[in-house]
Amino acid sequence: MFTLTINGQAREVDVSADMPLLWVLRDHLNLVGTKYGCGVAQCGVCTVHVGGKPVRSCQLAVGDVGTRAVVTIEGVGATPNGARVQQAWIEAAVPQCGYCQAGQIMSATALLDGNPHPDDADIDAAMAGNLCRCGTYIRIRRAIKNAAAGGA
Amino acid sequence: MKKIVGIVVALIVVVALGAAGWMYLGRNPMAFAGGSTVALQDYQASSVTGVPAQLAKADLVTRGEYLTHAADCQACHSAPGSAPFTGGFALTTPFGTIYSTNITPDKQTGIGNYTDAQFLAVMHRGIRADGEHLYPAMPYASYTYMTDGDVLAIKVYLFTLAPQHAPARKDQLSWPFNHRSLLTLWDVVFNPDTRFRPNTGESPQWNRGAYLAETMGHCGECHTPRNIAFALDNHSKFAGAVTAGWRAYNITSDRDSGIGGWSDQDLYQYLSTGHANGHGGAAGPMGEASDDSLSYLVPNDVHALVTYLRSVPAEKSDLPRTVTAPAPASYKQGVVAGFDPRGEKIFAGACASCHDWTGVSPVTGYATLTGVRAVNDPNATNVAQAVIHGVNRQTDAGKIFMPAFGQGLSDDDIAAVANYVTARFGAKGAHLTSQDVANLRKQAPQQSNSRETPNG
């Protein structure tokens, strides 16, 4: 039995310690906004925040979460940068098919949390692990800059 | 004139004899301890061979199973994708490729017809049932120290396995190494063909560790450099060597190059689980040694190994002191000028999400790069191999996984990212070229068994 703090709430789950956090979120807590992509931490769609850091939840065993707070796409809008990023995403109409976008928004928010005014190179370094098969990278970059500008 | 020729010939003979003597003297892996040894039956202190006390009353098969794990027969006698112990594993050497053989009790293709005497001959002297000599890729020069009882317990265990039909693959060796008769001479010089003799000047725990390390675990077969005749050179005992494309590190007590800076607890944790916090985890052949062999040892035996390893004299090698501080959190800092920027780009896309820019993984301690010997090796051998083959270990603590990038990244890419990783997280950046990576791929042709196994 594990007690996780997810989006500010304590949630209890009765799963084995080696179950990936992504499974816990989707199958046990019905938080299905976080998607499954490659399963080997190479595409970024399953990104959530753990202890404030963007982490690929398909590779993070629930037993390794410890006391670190987990924020998912369902809860990130409640944070100041998360709200700004989501607003910027809507204004720039970033998504095309949308499958990778939860992960993109989580990585973008973590970037702004650590670096309020990223330049292009900063954005590339932080976002390179989040793939988008539709190629929305140009709009992702613009939206991150708009969100940063909105944050002042 | 005749006199000069005579002197030159005499000199050559002296040098040759000296070199031969030097090599001969390097064959005893336990000589460094000095002191006097006694025959096993004259050693009173305690039992240092066989199974540990916990298993003393177990049946012969169980005892044989423990010893089979301790001798790590499985790692070499199993090929990826085939049943365990059926052989076919390619051992790459500078002379060509040797394939391990089927040691299940199949009568046609395995060892089903071996008598006890024949099995003892193969384990102690490297002579198989048909009288041919084995290549010392089979570590019989280490197993030769094993007691008859332990050898035969292993046989009993192997004979409980299901017989599998798996014919031997043909070795691919260049002339003259394809002539097994040459090994007669090698064996005379380099196989002591003698059983383990406890050292009375050392503790029973040390002697148990020596038996486990030298006889059963045959650590030196990878960790000790080889001489010109490809026999172990114990003058540089455990000072590290490259075997089958992976680097077996210096495990002497040197503080910088070896394991002198590790605590007993670190060593115990590494040997029993294949990972030690702050030092990283085993991958490649050591990952196999951990999962197939060392992880089965009882705690007392692991402690004995630690005691023994601690006693091996320090030998300084080319490995610098390990950097134990994390790299800066921003990709902009901690970069060494002059490195191919492609390495950073690949790291950002493929590596940073698990390994972090600091090297301290937010995902699992197994993925932390800070303090790991591999990233502090200026040759980046094992970094490149881990990138090519990934890591896919099943342990008691769960799965340890890193994807294999060998199919997805070019040799140039792998060189660039290995150079970047060693420069960012280690003591000294590597300068691998794509040709180096191509060679590393060739030397370890069979370890790409890290199939992509997505969760679910």
Assign B76 a pLDDT band (cuts: 50, 70, 90): very high
| B126 contacts B137 by C-beta, under 8 angstroms | no
Give the residue-averaged pLDDT of B376-392. 96
Assign A152 a pLDDT band (cuts: 50, 70, 90): low
**Residues A143, A87 share a domain:** yes
**Cβ pair B456:A39 closer than 8 A:** yes
| B186 contacts B134 by C-beta, under 8 angstroms | no
Assign B450 a pLDDT band (cuts: 50, 70, 90): very low
Give the residue-averaged pLDDT of B52-71. 97
Assign B369 a pLDDT band (cuts: 50, 70, 90): very high
Query: Token pair for residue B134?
Result: 């084995």
Domain boundary among A42, A71, A100: A71
Chain A residues contacting B, CB < 8 Å?
Answer: 17-18, 20, 22-23, 36, 38-42, 44, 47, 50-51, 53-56, 58-61, 63-64, 114-115, 121-122, 124-126, 128-129
Shortest Cα distance, chain B CAs vs residue A105, angstroms? 15
Residues in chain B: 456
Interface test with A, best of B330, B333, B407, B455 (most A CBs within 10 A): B455
Give chain B positions within 8 Å (CB) of A129. Answer: 348-350, 352-353
Whole-model pTM: value is 0.92
Query: What is the reported pLDDT for B191?
Result: 95
Query: What is the reported pLDDT for B452?
Result: 46
The percentage of residues in chain A with a pLDDT greater than 70, rounded to a whole number, is 99
Query: What is the reported pLDDT for B105?
Result: 98
Q: How far apart are CA B121 and CA B115, in angstroms?
A: 10
Interface test with B, best of A40, A47, A120 (most B CBs within 10 A): A40
Give chain A positions within 8 Å (CB) of B354. Answer: 41, 56, 59
Closest listed residue to residue B308, CA positions, set B189, B223, B382: B223
**Residues A55, A99 share a domain:** no
Q: How far apart are CA B173 and CA B325, in angstroms?
A: 46
User: Is pLDDT of B453 > 70?
Assistant: no
Shortest Cα distance, chain A CAs vs residue B359, angstroms? 14
**For the structural domain made of B204-310, what CATH number should be given?**
1.10.760
Closest listed residue to residue A25, CA positions, set A76, A55, A62, A53: A62
Pairing, β B241-243 against β B246-248: antiparallel
Grouping H, G, I as helix, E, B as strand and the rest as coil, residue B400 is: strand
**Residues A55, A114 share a domain:** no
**Cβ pair B452:A40 closer than 8 A:** yes
Q: Which helix (H) or strand (E) holds B395?
A: strand B391-395
User: Is pLDDT of A58 > 60?
Assistant: yes
Segment A74-116, tens digit of pLDDT? 999 999 999 999 999 999 999 999 999 999 999 999 999 999 9
For helices B264-273 and B299-310, angle between their N-to-C axes, nearest 10 degrees: 130
Query: What is the reported pLDDT for B92?
Result: 87
**Residues A82, A115 share a domain:** yes
Shortest Cα distance, chain B CAs vs residue A150, angstroms? 23
Q: How far apart are CA B380 and CA B429, in angstroms?
A: 8
Lowest-confidence region among B102-111, B113-122, B312-321, B397-406: B397-406
**Cβ pair B362:A40 closer than 8 A:** no
**Residues A147, A81 share a domain:** yes
**Residues A36, A64 share a domain:** yes
Number of structural domains found in chain A: 2
Query: Token pair for residue B192?
Result: 């002591």
**Cβ pair B345:A128 closer than 8 A:** yes
**Residues A137, A116 share a domain:** yes
Domain boundaries, chain B: 44-190, 204-310, 341-443
Give the residue-averaged pLDDT of B69-75. 96
Shortest Cα distance, chain A CAs vs residue B320, angstroms? 30
**Residues A64, A117 share a domain:** no
Q: How far apart are CA B356 and CA B128, in angstroms?
A: 51
B341 touching A (Cβ < 8 Å): no
User: Is pLDDT of B331 > 50?
Assistant: yes
Give the residue-averaged pLDDT of A124-141. 97
**Residues A59, A109 share a domain:** no
Q: Mean pLDDT score of chain B, rounded to an integer? A: 92
Give the residue-averaged pLDDT of B62-84. 95
**Cβ pair A53:B331 closer than 8 A:** no
Query: What is the reported pLDDT for B205?
Result: 97
Name the residue of chain A whose CA is nearest to B346's CA.
Answer: A128
Domain boundary among A71, A95, A125: A71
Give the residue-averaged pLDDT of A10-23. 96
Give the residue-averaged pLDDT of A40-62. 96
**Residues A111, A132 share a domain:** yes
Segment B218-260, tens digit of pLDDT? 999 999 999 999 999 999 999 999 988 999 999 999 999 999 9
User: Do the domains spanning B204-310 and B341-443 agree at the CATH topology level?
Assistant: yes
Assign B335 a pLDDT band (cuts: 50, 70, 90): confident
Q: How far apart are CA A25 and CA A34, in angstroms?
A: 8
DSSP assignment of chain A: -EEEEETTEEEEE---TTSBHHHIIIIIS--TTSPP-SSSSSS-TTEEEETTEEEETTT-BGGGTTT--EE-TTTGGGSHHHHHHHHHHHHHT--SS-TTHHHHHHHHHHHHHH-SS--HHHHHHHHTT---TT-THHHHHHHHHHHHHHH-
Helix segments in B85-234, DSSP class H: 116-125, 140-143, 148-158, 183-190, 204-210, 220-223
Nearest to B350 among A42, A53, A64 (CB): A42
Query: What is the reported pLDDT for B449?
Result: 46
User: Is pLDDT of A135 > 50?
Assistant: yes
Assign B445 a pLDDT band (cuts: 50, 70, 90): low
Give chain A positions within 8 Å (CB) of B398. Answer: 17-18, 61, 63
Residues 403-422 of B with CB under 8 A from A: 403
Query: What is the reported pLDDT for B447?
Result: 52
Domain span at A108: 76-151
B429 touching A (Cβ < 8 Å): no
Query: What is the reported pLDDT for B448?
Result: 43
B455 touching A (Cβ < 8 Å): yes
**In one letter, which amino acid is B246?**
W
**Cβ pair B345:A22 closer than 8 A:** no
CATH number at residue A65: 3.10.20.30
- Give this complex's ipTM: 0.94
Assign B7 a pLDDT band (cuts: 50, 70, 90): confident
Give chain B positions within 8 Å (CB) of A54. Answer: 353
CATH 1.10.760.10 at B341-443, yes or no:
yes
Query: What is the reported pLDDT for B3?
Result: 82
Stronger pLDDT, B3 or A17, i.e. the higher one: A17
